[in-house]
Amino acid sequence: MSLTVGVLALQGGFSEHLHLLHVAAQHLSSTELASTTAFSLIEVRTPEQLASCDALIIPGGESTTISFVAAQSGLLEPLRDFVKVQKRPVWGTCAGLILLSDEANATKKGGQELIGGLGVRVHRNHFGRQIESFESNMDLPFLSGEPDPSPFPGVFIRAPVVEEVLHTDDSRPRVQVLAKLPGRLDKMRAGVSQANTKDDSGDIVAVRQGNVLGTSFHPELTKDARIHVWWLKQILNKE
């Protein structure tokens, strides 16, 4: 079988994602699960390229810029269709999580076009104009079945905060919280976050709803391909 995975290449860390996808695909090609799978890993900049994809990654970067360029390129509606109508597997990291969220606070003046599909409300930059950047080793329960049990190196750069998991009345599956980082809201500096979180939602760093996965951190800025391997395995197991 063949599997075409695209990375939205309008702005941000798309080349880093592509590199780790190549690492992950090479690893999986040596396993029984994917030994007969022909991986095609491509950059996506046009509706035609998107239409050729079986799955898509939306990288970290500047969410407002990605949204604007997608609209100018005629990609915004095809992206919404890809995610919410065709329900193909999509993973968004940092800015990608913002774009895939149903609601976002603290967007720039005039608002921001979202793709949607993930039933959460995020706060785009909960430290205002401060640059919040930190790294933290994380235990990610969804990687527990992988051979390497070591903590995952989480890189957070002005990362969005999940303010609330929304209870939608549509036919989508319930939102699954895949991982939390306790105290994540105050990692940079205690008491100054502008996010209005519900319960402990501010600790959420990975969330999934059906075909949509979102992480608030940047796996692509590490050398660790375990999440890329896990995500590709999730896709292959459903093919």
User: What span, in angstroms and rounded, lies between the C-alpha atoms of 41 and 235?
Assistant: 14
Q: Which long-range contacts (CB under 8 A, 24 or more apart) does 182-190 make?
A: 184/136, 184/156, 185/126, 185/161, 187/132, 187/134, 187/136, 187/156, 188/127, 188/130, 188/132, 188/133, 188/134, 189/127, 189/130
User: What span, in angstroms and rounded, lies between the C-alpha atoms of 113 and 42?
Assistant: 24
| H helices present in the chain, as ranges | 14-29, 47-51, 63-72, 76-80, 95-100, 226-238
The residue from 16, 132, 163, 220 that is catalytic is: 220
The residue from 94, 123, 132, 228 that is catalytic is: 94
177-200 residues labelled b (16+ CB within 10 A) or e (exposed): bbbbbeebbebbeeeebebebeee
62 labelled catalytic: no
In the block, residue with structure tokens 């995020």? 122
Name beta bridge partners: 204.
180
123 labelled catalytic: no
**HSE-up of residue 154 (Cα within 13 Å, Cβ side):** 24
Q: Counting beta carbons within 10 angstroms of the beta carbon of residue 235, is it exposed (0 to 12), middle (13 to 18) or buried (19 or more)?
A: middle
The residue from 17, 123, 126, 218 that is catalytic is: 218
53 labelled catalytic: no
**Residues known to be catalytic:** 94, 218, 220
